[in-house]
Structure 1
Amino acid sequence: MLLAIFVNTTVNAQDPQLDTAKVIQTPNLQQEHFYDSLENRASRRKLTGWLYDAIITPPRPYVDKKALALDYFKEYEGKIIADIKINALDVFGPTCTDTTKTASHWAERAANKIHTKSNLKTIRKLLLFKIGDVLKPELMYENERIIRDLPYIKDVRIYVEQDPIYPGLVNVLVLTKDRFSFGVSGGVNGTSSGDLEIYNRNIFGVGHEVSVKFVGHVEKEPYLGVETFYNIKNIGGRFLDVRLGYLNTYRREGFVTEVTKPFLTQNIKWGYGGYSARMLRTDRITNNDPVKVEEPMDLSVNYLWGGRSFNISPRHENITELVLSAGMNNWNYFDEPVVEPENSHFFSNHTLYMASLTISQRRYIQDQLIYSYGITEDIPEGFKNEFIYGYDANEFGDRHYLHFLTSNGNLLLSRSGYLFTSAGISGYLKDGHFEEGMIQGDVNFISKLHKAGKKRVRTFADLNYTLGIRRFEIEHLTLGDRDHIRSFDSDIAVGKQRLNLKLEHVVFLPAQFYKFNMAIFGFADFGVIGSNRELIFKQDYYSGIGIGIRLHNENLVFETFRLRLAFYPFHPDDMSFVGFSLDEQSKKRFISFAPTGPEPMRFE
């Protein structure tokens, strides 16, 4: 009872209603009159009323949720933390803003009993503060973001209460709400192959992950194989993660080990990591490599990096980091792949030694209904400039590697959305010649969330350009990889140069389908692809338009289920005019401005 009273009183302090919120922008009266008049005329007919709700998006005030959260914590800034309590809530029923709610359906109550809540010691290891520390508002806000980013956590709230006896002390309550940690996924590829994966994102409540995927093929051996991974998270409270894997399917056989300690916050001074894969049999160099060979390869890939972060703006509110790092990437082929002679250098035994200098600045804005469904999302804002020099010790001749990448992301000054941009150039220098080079540029726009009746609406736009310079013949850009044109699958539409525009209009529906949130989306994708020896606008044009629906339950670790129908007006000969797909969609991630280890840019 005391917990409920504590939470309810602090929630009111942290989450005021809209009329008491800080409103950054107020639409003018002329705009309001126009949209009200248009809505009134559209509502006279059912069809036009629905189209108005789905398409027309009148301006709404922007609420700075981060400012509200920081204002709440600043009330207690400088006070000493006397006590920390942690409470892990049930998956179904209670929320971080109302702990008195209970699961209403028998299936939800059964799931709560089956699920193992996050271990309180595991959550405590994630805290950036301890008893006796001085309360810092930015640190509390940042800690919420780090915990919320975990795959098995749906939401987290940190509440602060003034000590009733000593005015200089405060007590802290950390509320976490898990996702149901068990998940199943799978799919079929025609009538010849398929896979089924079973996983747990929070085994025994300690934050570890385990997954087992069964992969089968009716013609290729092994007819039934397995891929299994085990992830150990936040070892010793140092934010050090370890991932171990074994694979033996018709696609590949081998072992994978990965260690990661990222620059998770701007206060972390040292970051490092490594990756090692020993593949006894594989058709690709890495799991998601776009280059595929017919005959299996026997190879090893090893990567190691470490870096040191320096704060170069100690007197400014937004910290600017300078990170110096070094890394080594080694490829070793035990049996040379059977390829055309002009492509043999692509599969060379070589070691790339790299050194990088990164200048970055990052902060986060809170919003909802972007890539998730009704939960808090942390949108990065800032910039990152990265320069890498590398020396490639190559069996076909040593060479130098150069790489410059810049990215920027901001909430637009007009508060009309989020804009992310990036541009980069990379390549190798050998005997005075530039080879295996590329130029890449991206512009991503996300509109602000609009209210359309009871629905919520966003528009997404992505523009991408990639140019390959003196690439190997085996390397190709496509329009199908990474959904440059959604559900596009062609072996004809390939090249060394690509221009791509993706547009999507998403309507988040208020109704649920068996507890799954729903979003209807319409899309239009355009792509130009071809040779790198002529202007991009002289190459081949393709497009795809369509509609679809996404289903997702934020209480579960399941991926998003997606049903999509597409039409391809300018389709190549090896594709049909109509495409239909039912699959799973992994949650899209925002462009991050956190410093990372040095790695060459990927031509894909």
Structure 2
Amino acid sequence: MIKKIVLLLFLNLLVFQPCFSQKKTMENDSVQIYHDIHEYSKKSKFSKFVYRLFFRPSKLNEKENKPQKKVVTVDYSKYNGKIIRNINIQTLDPFGYAVDDTTRKPKKSLEIAGNALHARTKKFTVRNLLLFKKNEPFDNLAIKESERLIRDQRYVRRVVITPKTISKASDSIDVAIVLLDSWSILPNGSLSSDQGRFSLRERNLLGTGHQLSGSYKERFTDGYNAKSGAYAINNIKNSYISFNAIYENDFDNNTRRILSLNRSFFSALTKWAGGMYFENRVLGEPFIIEADSVFISPTKSEFQEYWVGRSFKLSNNKDYDSRTQRLVVSLAYNKKIFLQKPDITLDPTSFFANETNIISQIGITSQKYYKDSFIFNYDIVEDVPYGEIAAINVGYQYKNNLTRLYLGSKIAYGAKYDFGYVSGAVEWGSFFYQGNTYQNTLKIGLNYFSPLMHFGKWKTRQFIKPSFVWGNNRDASQKDVIGLDGNSGIQGFTDLVKGTKKWLISFQTQTYSPGSWKGFRFSPYLNITMGSISERNRSLLTGRVYSKFGIGLLINNDYLVFNSFQISFSYYPSIPFQGTNVIKTNSFENDDLTLPQFRLSKPYHIRYQ
């Protein structure tokens, strides 16, 4: 089985590497053949669609029939120090408009109807996102960061910020901001033989940037339902303080209520950060009594947390690298209280106990970004994070009448190379009591994606994501373990396989198709994920390797930029307690591959997951 897996991985990497072809020796014949195919493609819409999938228009036709787009590069640095006289904001509806040609207007009746139903982003919503103001000196970094922060909003499709010179003699300039909205009302749903689900999300409520979402599920076998709702304000009056309210209730009547206010280190220019978080949870915790017996114990808990952080510049130099390097110090206090917890017979080590934590952090961070496209979205500018982090956490925990010291650290690095983007992180944390270490956690993770490769008119990238989690001297409770399922494991795998250490590696080949139908683009992807997990005192090298082979179709729409429809089929050679040769549908989503941020936030214990 191992040999087959290795062979399949080798073929996967081999097939999707850049290909080289021999030089053409009969150029005139090739041109004639291409011309004949091009003429034949005009006979029907279908033949024209197939032609566009596999051929590029000739350079001659491009020049004759399609105007060339000019790539304008603005050197922001030459405007540094000039006074900003006016800030002119123009927001465009999602259909039929373009940020690089504001004279373009929608012509199709469907586009006009869609714009009429859309609430355009308000100018004050955009103004609240800016890190610069009128009558202030122009700052190159503040402009770039403002553009990135606007682009980071899920309701914005494209944005361009352009300085406008008033006159050669003037020491003032105007700043023009043009942004193209994305369609913000996003329905979703699914239906199977045993249950149905419907959800609705508004990502730009009345053009204010507020988010409102809700979902409803019903299980047909017993009539039980599950529901959830959330309301979010991402930025309160240009403070970048976010507010979130969340309510969730599942089929088993487990509920969660959350209220939070938070201001992160959202930019290298951010000096102060902090927040508060409140959560109430009612949860049935499953305990394995025997090999085939599970007992559900009801628990009720309340959690509250407060934190504050301050960043300091490390250099007075004005270059990009120096201005993005910051010294960050922060302090967090949190408290968890159990109003109802499992019986001592189920939890003999009192893992479910009231606890109070004080955690401090000091670290150096450099959070930078470069622009790229065709990564997680189709032909949309994305800001790829890179930089460095070196941080140390020191804290104390009071739990079960004991006070324990906590030490943790994190080192991370990411950069773009000719062979692709690479980032990696190492995290370690442990409690100390009477000279001994407890609940040690070591995590190592890597991310890689290749440069954009071209195969005719098709584009593709290769993603690779290995990870390793190790726990030592963990609590004897059956709850202080990790699994091989979920977002930190193999999607669609069982949650009944537990251990204290694991390794995972995921390979994904993502294609970006050139053709479209009614604005929809169909891009296939291939995913291979494998991993192993071991219990205490057992080696990972001798553990069983589990795997999943998935193929899927990512369906993008040019106007529903950040929401993609996905269809996937996954094959599992073996899933414990479920069988062998298991096939599942929609068990994997290609957005499970995410990139790390190189910025420090609130102090925390290294997560064991």
After TM superposition, the score normalised by the length of structure 1 is 0.83
Counterparts of residues 289-368 of structure 1 (less than 5 Å): 294-315=296-317, 317=319, 318=321, 319=323, 320-338=325-343, 341-342=346-347, 344-368=349-373
Deviation of residue 309 (structure 1)? 0.7
Selected match of 1:402 from 401, 404, 407: 407
Structure 2 residue runs without a partner (length 5+): 1-17, 34-50, 55-70, 287-293
Counterparts of residues 69-80 of structure 1 (less than 5 Å): 71-80=74-83
Q: Which residue does 1:549 correspond to in 2?
A: 553
Q: Matched residues in 2 for 1:191 and 1:99: separation? A: 49
- Distance of aligned partners of 1:81 and 1:365 in 2 relative to their CA distance in 1, 3 Å threshold: same
Deviation of residue 433 (structure 1)? 2.6
Selected match of 1:258 from 254, 257, 260: 260
Deviation of residue 492 (structure 1)? 4.9
Q: Matched residues in 1 for 2:95 and 2:169: separation? A: 37
Q: Matched residues in 2 for 1:91 and 1:220: separation? A: 43
User: C-alpha deviations, 1:180-219, integer Å up to 9, x for none?
Assistant: 111112345x655443221211111111111122233457
**Secondary structure class of the residue paired with 1:139:** helix
Q: Which residue does 1:169 correspond to in 2?
A: 172
Q: Matched residues in 1 for 2:166 and 2:581: separation? A: 68
Selected match of 1:528 from 532, 537, 541: 532
- Distance of aligned partners of 1:191 and 1:323 in 2 relative to their CA distance in 1, 3 Å threshold: same
Code of the residue aligned with 2:442 in structure 1: it is: I
Q: Matched residues in 2 for 1:264 and 1:178: separation? A: 22
Q: Matched residues in 1 for 2:592 and 2:456: separation? A: 27
Q: Matched residues in 2 for 1:193 and 1:38: separation? A: 57
Q: Name which of structure 1's ranges 546-555 and 318-327 shifts more when overlaid on structure 2.
A: 546-555
Q: Name which of structure 1's ranges 234-243 and 467-476 shifts more when overlaid on structure 2.
A: 467-476
Deviation of residue 229 (structure 1)? 1.4
**Secondary structure class of the residue paired with 2:513:** strand
Selected match of 2:20 from 21, 35, 40: 35
Q: Matched residues in 2 for 1:94 and 1:74: separation? A: 29
Deviation of residue 357 (structure 1)? 0.8
- Distance of aligned partners of 1:483 and 1:513 in 2 relative to their CA distance in 1, 3 Å threshold: farther
Q: Matched residues in 1 for 2:25 and 2:373: separation? A: 28
Code of the residue aligned with 2:91 in structure 1: it is: A
Code of the residue aligned with 1:126 in structure 2: it is: L
Q: Which residue does 1:224 correspond to in 2?
A: 225
Deviation of residue 446 (structure 1)? 0.8
On the 8 A contact 1:380/1:591 being kept in 2, the answer is yes
Deviation of residue 469 (structure 1)? 1.3
Code of the residue aligned with 1:599 in structure 2: it is: Y
Code of the residue aligned with 1:381 in structure 2: it is: Y
On the 8 A contact 1:156/1:175 being kept in 2, the answer is yes
Selected match of 2:392 from 387, 399, 403: 387
- Distance of aligned partners of 1:575 and 1:596 in 2 relative to their CA distance in 1, 3 Å threshold: farther
Selected match of 2:520 from 516, 520, 534: 516
Deviation of residue 557 (structure 1)? 6.4
Q: Which residue does 2:214 correspond to in 1?
A: 212
Give the percent of matched residue pairs that are identical in Structure 1 and Structure 2. 24
Deviation of residue 463 (structure 1)? 0.7
Code of the residue aligned with 1:128 in structure 2: it is: L
Q: Which residue does 2:66 correspond to in 1?
A: none
Q: Which residue does 2:543 correspond to in 1?
A: 539
Code of the residue aligned with 2:276 in structure 1: it is: G
On the 8 A contact 1:331/1:351 being kept in 2, the answer is yes
- Distance of aligned partners of 1:174 and 1:600 in 2 relative to their CA distance in 1, 3 Å threshold: same
Structure 1 residue runs without a partner (length 5+): 1-32, 45-49, 54-67, 286-291
On the 8 A contact 1:200/1:209 being kept in 2, the answer is yes
On the 8 A contact 1:343/1:474 being kept in 2, the answer is no
On the 8 A contact 1:70/1:137 being kept in 2, the answer is no
User: C-alpha deviations, 1:104-142, integer Å up to 9, x for none?
Assistant: 543332221111001101111211112222222222111
Code of the residue aligned with 2:570 in structure 1: it is: A
Deviation of residue 396 (structure 1)? 4.7
Q: Which residue does 1:507 correspond to in 2?
A: 511
Deviation of residue 593 (structure 1)? 0.9
User: C-alpha deviations, 1:246-267, integer Å up to 9, x for none?
Assistant: 3444342343101111111122
Q: Which residue does 2:375 correspond to in 1?
A: 370
User: C-alpha deviations, 1:290-338, integer Å up to 9, x for none?
Assistant: xx98333211111111011111122262132111111012111101124
Task: Say which one has the larger Rg.
Answer: 2
Q: Matched residues in 1 for 2:72 and 2:456: separation? A: 28
On the 8 A contact 2:273/2:309 being kept in 1, the answer is yes
Code of the residue aligned with 2:568 in structure 1: it is: R
Q: Name which of structure 1's ranges 516-525 and 549-558 shifts more when overlaid on structure 2.
A: 549-558
- Distance of aligned partners of 1:75 and 1:225 in 2 relative to their CA distance in 1, 3 Å threshold: same
Code of the residue aligned with 1:387 in structure 2: it is: I
Counterparts of residues 373-522 of structure 1 (less than 5 Å): 373-412=378-417, 415-471=418-474, 472-482=477-487, 484-487=489-492, 489-522=493-526
Q: Name which of structure 1's ranges 147-156 and 253-262 shifts more when overlaid on structure 2.
A: 253-262
Q: Which residue does 2:133 correspond to in 1?
A: 130
- Distance of aligned partners of 1:329 and 1:219 in 2 relative to their CA distance in 1, 3 Å threshold: farther
Q: Which residue does 1:19 correspond to in 2?
A: none
User: C-alpha deviations, 1:76-131, integer Å up to 9, x for none?
Assistant: 33322222110001111112122233345433322211110011011112111122
Deviation of residue 589 (structure 1)? 4.0
- Distance of aligned partners of 1:239 and 1:69 in 2 relative to their CA distance in 1, 3 Å threshold: farther
Q: Matched residues in 2 for 1:480 and 1:247: separation? A: 22
User: C-alpha deviations, 1:224-273, integer Å up to 9, x for none?
Assistant: 35322111221121111111123444342343101111111122211001
**Secondary structure class of the residue paired with 2:350:** helix
On the 8 A contact 2:355/2:399 being kept in 1, the answer is yes
- Distance of aligned partners of 1:579 and 1:118 in 2 relative to their CA distance in 1, 3 Å threshold: same
Q: Matched residues in 2 for 1:483 and 1:387: separation? A: 24
**Secondary structure class of the residue paired with 1:502:** strand
Q: Matched residues in 2 for 1:360 and 1:69: separation? A: 32
- Distance of aligned partners of 1:224 and 1:566 in 2 relative to their CA distance in 1, 3 Å threshold: closer
On the 8 A contact 2:202/2:211 being kept in 1, the answer is yes
Q: Which residue does 1:139 correspond to in 2?
A: 142
- Distance of aligned partners of 1:513 and 1:426 in 2 relative to their CA distance in 1, 3 Å threshold: farther
**Secondary structure class of the residue paired with 2:402:** coil
Deviation of residue 40 (structure 1)? 9.6
After TM superposition, the score normalised by the length of structure 2 is 0.82
Aligned residues: 542
Code of the residue aligned with 1:168 in structure 2: it is: D
